[in-house]
């Protein structure tokens, strides 16, 4: 076993380029090689057990090693392992999944375009919106509004929409017309003495002022995650999304809800736009659509958006966009079965039922911890922000990588989390139980205590 493990590590260091990784550091420390998964747990190649507190990458709703998804994939592999959806071709799994998504999603989001990832989906959204506005005789209506710390992917277009410096630096991004607005996170970005209602009003005023300054005729869409994930798990202030939606409607600006992380129950409702009381024109879905057992994403568009695009395809003779794997039969078959499991096991209801246990449990355990500035979240997604002192402005020097250290220690304690800067993100599979949550909190507590001792030894607190 050790010989195999050593061989894998050496081969990985020699040949694999890892996303979101310091490659030179990786050459020194090598990978954590995950060998198998079971329920909410994964095991490395040495047999060590971890609670997967991030559901992989915010995505494994039904847990690991779900036999029904394996069986669905094998059945489809035997029947039709691959076929495309170009030029009037179709197959049953993609048809049925598109039909199911139209049934599940709110409002008139009746039309579905499949991609392989959320990044590809948001890249496609940009092209769709540009295509639509050209068709409608609005060639200047091309700019997007997004938010600082928002995450929408890493292609040239979707990476431009993302509002994180690491995704822009030395990539020459943004490369499309986009304006990034204030992050809707009261604890970190409110002015001194500004309550949540005043903070929300200021952000909505910023949106109105930006539209007035740049011209509604130049702005195509506002894109945002209902709850921001990869930027640090940030929940919007009350009334934010209703206000954004109203302002955009008034100015003929599309609202794009990026629910790559939020969709299919993560926030305690099937879709987070339902929780926050707004109806998007375009809804972007991935991750929990297939529990990431297969690469899959979907763009749901309203009747009005579809009709404008469809009319232009009639004029031009085609929609000149698509991917070899768009609506892949195995991926869509797995997606259908995954959604059936979510419904049959009541996993959206489970997320809602356990929201208080998870959120209040984390707050009760860690709100007074010397290293914790804020515990935040909703449903079964949470962030624990680490600070040098119990004040908003006392963030650690990013170069000290306190969050990364805490994530490493948490892994030693048998909990996989994700350090988003110095915010420790948690997003367990939707099959999690009360006992599982208690164990997650226990392991995170040990990690925080050990991280505090490390910070003291390093002179950081």
Q: Which helix (H) or strand (E) holds 29?
A: helix 23-29
Strand order in the sheet with 41-44: 34-38, 41-44, 49-52, 415-416
| Residue 222: burial class (beta carbons within 10 Å; 0-12, 13-18, 19+) | buried
State the Cα–Cα distance between residues 215 and 132, nearest whole angstrom: 18
Provide the total of helices (H) and of strands (E) in the chain, helices listed first. Answer: 16, 15
- b/e 223-237 (16+ beta carbons within 10 angstroms → b): bbbbbbbbbbbbbbb
SS3 417: coil
Residue 389 to residue 197: CA distance in whole angstroms: 26
pLDDT of residue 393: 66
Name the fold adopted by 69-344: 3.40.640
pLDDT of residue 369: 97
What's residue 1's pLDDT? Answer: 47
Predicted pLDDT at 390: 80
Mark the ranges of the chain whose per-residue pLDDT is less than 50.
Answer: 1
CATH number, domain 32-62+346-457: 3.90.1150.10
pLDDT on residue 391: 74
Q: By the 8 A CB rule, do 426 and 384 touch?
A: yes
Strand ranges inside 3-153, DSSP E: 34-38, 41-44, 49-52, 111-115, 143-147
Q: Break the chain into its structural domains and give their ranges.
A: 32-62+346-457, 69-344
238 vs 378: CA distance, rounded Å: 13
């Amino acid at each position: 076993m050790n010989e195999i493990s050593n061989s894998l590590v050496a081969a990985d260091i020699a040949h694999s380029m890892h996303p979101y990784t310091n490659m030179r550091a990786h050459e020194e420390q090598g990978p954590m090689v995950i060998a198998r998964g079971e329920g909410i747990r994964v095991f490395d190649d040495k047999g060590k057990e971890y609670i997967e507190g991030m559901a992989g990458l915010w995505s494994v709703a039904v847990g690991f090693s779900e036999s029904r998804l394996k069986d669905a994939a094998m059945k489809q592999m035997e029947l039709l392992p691959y076929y495309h959806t170009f030029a009037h071709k179709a197959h049953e799994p993609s048809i049925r999944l598109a039909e199911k998504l139209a049934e599940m999603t709110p409002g008139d989001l009746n039309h579905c375009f499949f991609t392989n990832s959320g990044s590809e989906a948001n890249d496609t959204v940009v092209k769709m919106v540009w295509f639509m506005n050209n068709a409608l005789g609005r060639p200047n209506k091309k700019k997007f509004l997004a938010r600082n710390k928002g995450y929408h992917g890493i292609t040239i277009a979707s990476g431009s929409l993302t509002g994180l410096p690491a995704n822009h630096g030395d990539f020459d991004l943004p490369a499309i017309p986009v304006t990034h607005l204030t992050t809707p996170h009261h604890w970190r970005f409110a002015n001194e003495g500004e309550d949540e209602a005043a903070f929300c009003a200021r952000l909505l005023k910023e949106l109105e002022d930006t539209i007035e300054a740049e011209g509604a005729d130049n702005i195509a869409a506002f894109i945002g995650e209902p709850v921001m994930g990869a930027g640090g798990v940030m929940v919007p202030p009350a009334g934010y999304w209703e206000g954004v939606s109203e302002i955009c409607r008034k100015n003929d600006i599309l609202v794009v809800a990026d629910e790559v992380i939020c969709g299919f129950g993560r926030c305690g409702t099937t879709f987070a736009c339902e929780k926050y009381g707004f109806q998007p024109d375009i809804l972007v879905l991935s991750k929990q659509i297939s529990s990431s057992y297969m690469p899959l994403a979907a763009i749901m568009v309203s009747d009005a958006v579809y009709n404008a695009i469809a009319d232009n395809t009639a004029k031009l003779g085609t929609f000149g966009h698509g991917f070899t794997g768009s609506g892949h039969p195995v991926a869509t078959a797995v997606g259908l079965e995954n959604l059936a499991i979510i419904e049959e096991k009541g996993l959206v209801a489970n997320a809602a039922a356990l929201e208080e246990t998870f959120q209040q449990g984390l707050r009760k355990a860690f709100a007074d911890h010397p290293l914790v500035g804020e515990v935040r979240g909703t449903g079964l997604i949470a962030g624990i922000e680490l600070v040098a002192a119990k004040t908003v402005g006392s963030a650690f020097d990013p170069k000290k990588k306190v969050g990364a250290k805490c994530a490493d220690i948490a892994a030693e304690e048998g909990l996989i989390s994700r350090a988003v800067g110095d915010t420790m993100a948690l997003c367990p599979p939707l099959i999690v139980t009360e006992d599982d949550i208690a164990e997650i909190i226990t392991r995170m507590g040990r990690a925080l205590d050990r991280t505090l001792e490390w910070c003291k030894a390093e002179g950081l607190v």
